Amino acid sequence: MTEHKSIDYNPLGIETDNIIKKGDFAAVIARAGVGKTSFLVQVALSCMLKQKKVLHVSLHDSVKKVSLWYKEIFTNLVNQHVIDLPVGSLDSLLPCRFIMTFKVDGFSLPGFVERFSDITEQGIFVPDVLIVDGLPLNETTDKLLKEIKAFAVQNSLSAWFSGHIHRDEEPNADGTPAPFFHVADNFDIVIQLQPTGERICVNFVKGIANDSDNPMIHVDPSSMLIMEL
């Protein structure tokens, strides 16, 4: 298998390493079906292309389905000429990714740490970035998030999470959507995906300024790729 060279692909239009640092938490929040998983996969691919190792933890999809997400998004990136690589070169990136799956109801820090230790202590895979897709981000998981945060700091991990928000519930006084506002203080970066007409807007809610220094971006519903406006 041929090793790939580091490639600067920054889906948010900003150097990823300047957005989230070791020990930081970022959340991508949206209503169901808007594209949280595909967004996280693009973040993961941007890290993998820079030779960062990504541990992808899915609480609702199988390993096969997560792998298909990566294949589909990578193929779209190549076909849309976002990255200059052949489709088959995804294979060269796979040593930079490890997928774990859990049942969401059975997910706990001790169970995760046990499996994390299994792969790291044997030198099988030592990640730089943690992706957690499918953990409810509400008052029921606040304590767990704080435990994961301490673990991430201890293990020099930056972490990205997906969060489901509700259209029919009132937001907090500062506009943070429900039920995410119960855990918002755990996160350094918060990005909201919001359908508007024929596009999905990417709004920086916390940690990144919505100003002229950062490009306006959206998600193309047909390819689910993050694009500049």
The full set of domains in the chain, from first to last, is 22-228 (3.40.50.300)
The beta strands (E) that lie in 95-198 are given as 97-101, 129-133, 158-164, 189-196
**Residue 228: exposure state from Cβ atoms within 10 A (0-12, 13-18, ≥19):** exposed
How many whole angstroms separate alpha carbon 26 and alpha carbon 190?
Answer: 6
**Predicted local distance difference test score (pLDDT) of residue 207:** 86
C-beta atoms surrounding 100 within 10 Å: 19
Residue 37 tokens, joined: 């998983």
Residue 6 tokens, joined: 């580091």
Q: Looking at the DSSP assignment, which residues form a beta bridge with residue 154?
A: none
Contact 224, 76 (CB under 8 A): yes
Residue 3 tokens, joined: 């090793």
Residue 213 tokens, joined: 């220094």
Instruction: List, for the chain, all residue ranges whose pLDDT scores fall below the cut of 70.
Output: 1-7, 14-18, 168-169, 173, 209-215, 229
**Predicted local distance difference test score (pLDDT) of residue 10:** 83
**Predicted local distance difference test score (pLDDT) of residue 18:** 59
**Predicted local distance difference test score (pLDDT) of residue 1:** 42
Please tell me the pTM assigned to this model.
0.92
**Predicted local distance difference test score (pLDDT) of residue 210:** 63
